[in-house]
Amino acid sequence: MIKTFTLPSSALLGLAISAATVAANPDSVDAMADKIEPQVIEWRHHLHQYPELSNREFKTAEYIAKYLNELGLEVQTGIAHTGVVAVLDSGKPGPVVALRADIDGLPVTEVVDLPYASKQTTTFRGQETGIMHACGHDTHIAMLMGAAKILLAHKDQLQGKVKFIFQPAEEGAPDGEEGGAELMVKEGVLKNPDVDAIFGLHINSQTDVGVVKYRSGGIMAAVDPYKIVVKGKQAHGAYPWLSTDPIVTAAQIIMGLQTVVSREADLTQSAAVVTVGKIQGGIRSNIIPNEVEMIGTIRTLDENVRKKVHEGVRRKAKGIAESMGATAEVTLPLNYSYPVTYNNPELMRQMLPTLSRTAGDKNVQEVNPVTGAEDFSFFQREVPGVYLFVGGKDKNTPAAEAPAHHTPEFRVEDEGMKLGVRLLVNLTMDYMAQAK
């Protein structure tokens, strides 16, 4: 369940934030962001060239930790396997602000013609594949490293502490392992010092450089993979009346599952998706098998809808199977489960002026939620959090022609990172200033 948080009355004063209440001279932050941009780009190019998969980000973690140690920060490593956490203590009382970047790559073979393109390869689930930062996590790391440098330079203007969280396995832990934000929370990453608010962002290949997108409430979906095993009775394909056909039953279940969303979910209030991604059964053309296995995914943007859809999937699968003389075993969730990525409404309202000041009013866009998922949601389930999208697309490229995330063609422009650096810094400093 999504928790509701009430901000202190002092924090609500931030709704009327003006230039006079900004924690630091914005020109100073902007000038430093300009100055370190080449270094941020250099970090990003290195990280892009040497990506690592979830829970295996060993060299990535070493690269990050070495830099944070050079800054003189208090650094911890090995959190949730390969996570890195550093704390910047201003020496003055105040809130603890957490900033998060995910650090893992994907089993994708890069085809983009870049001088820093990845040439890394591995074996993933028994198949040879390339490794690629095909979702922009390399930019997230570089942006947070840049933000750490600027915030350290403005230490005398901070009140409280900043916790920099470099999180592994956002794309999901390997089979049989725990990982990601859920494991970080379990291991106490939001404690000692206790985090008051957390901010994160994601670069987007189909949003113009310089644009930041936000939404109050649910911005990304909960994700729940599932498995359905339909069990029937095997027979010769020439004599189907001697069988209880699990293939026909599975086909009926697939069609029935579509009505869970189209006839049971109030789509005027919140979107939902039920997808079957794989169906497997049988071994040859003239044998009706004993069983069929299906796996799929459920995406929802509201906790009540989530519960209703889960109940509907179980009921439809079991009821249709029974009507066909078969049985259906439903495993839901299958191997992992992410909550809704939920931007705390009060915190979102509080920080909107910071977005406008940083990106400019015309570059701040409210968007509809998306049915992709993010394990940043595990942090937001514990403390108030805001998650944003930052543009990484060349303005001359039509959005329809921009490469999608998780594809071999994925690319984002280096120029998009400067806004992300400035946002992470300004969100931190403004939140601290308002919490006085």
Whether residue 15 is predicted with pLDDT greater than 60 in this model: the reply is no
**Looking at residue 243, which CATH number applies to its domain?**
3.30.70.360
Residue 56 and residue 24 in one domain: yes
Residue 324 and residue 262 in one domain: yes
Q: How confident is the model at residue 175 (pLDDT cuts 50, 70, 90)?
A: confident
Structure tokens at 385: 């959090």
Percent of the chain residues topping a pLDDT of 90 = 91
Choose the final residue of a domain: 279, 307, 331: 331
Residue 96 lies in a domain: yes
Note if 104 is an active site residue.
Answer: yes
Choose the final residue of a domain: 311, 331, 351: 331
Q: pLDDT, tens digit, for every residue of 274-302?
A: 999 999 999 999 999 999 999 999 999 99
Residue 402 lies in a domain: yes
Residue 124 and residue 244 in one domain: no
Residue 77 lies in a domain: yes
Residue 243 and residue 215 in one domain: no
Residue 346 and residue 302 in one domain: no
The number of residues in the chain equals: 436
Residue 190 and residue 46 in one domain: yes
Q: Are 100 and 165 in contact (CB under 8 A)?
A: yes
Strands (E), 282-382: 287-288, 291-300, 327-331, 341-343, 364-366
- Over residues 349-359, the mean pLDDT reads 98
Nearest Cα to 74, choosing from 58, 61, 85, 62? 85
Choose the final residue of a domain: 296, 331, 366: 331
pLDDT at residue 135, as a whole number: 98
Residue 1 lies in a domain: no
Query: Whole-prediction pTM value?
Result: 0.90
pLDDT at residue 268, as a whole number: 87
Residue 31 and residue 170 in one domain: yes
pLDDT at residue 163, as a whole number: 98
Residue 345 lies in a domain: yes
What is the C-alpha separation between 310 and 304, in angstroms, rounded? 10
Helix (DSSP H) and strand (DSSP E) numbers for the chain: 10, 18
Backbone angles phi and psi of 60, in degrees to 5: -60, -45
Domain encompassing residue 392: 9-220+340-434
Residue 212 and residue 86 in one domain: yes
Note if 302 is an active site residue.
Answer: no
The residue annotated as part of the active site, out of 104, 138, 245, 374, is 104
How many structural domains does the chain have? Answer: 2
Residue 4 lies in a domain: no
**Looking at residue 18, which CATH number applies to its domain?**
3.40.630.10
Residue 305 and residue 372 in one domain: no
The residue annotated as part of the active site, out of 170, 196, 374, 375, is 170
- Over residues 235-245, the mean pLDDT reads 98
**What average pLDDT does the chain have?**
94
Residue 298 and residue 350 in one domain: no
Residue 214 and residue 240 in one domain: no
Report whether the peptide linkage leading into residue 193 is cis, meaning its omega lies within 30 degrees of zero: yes
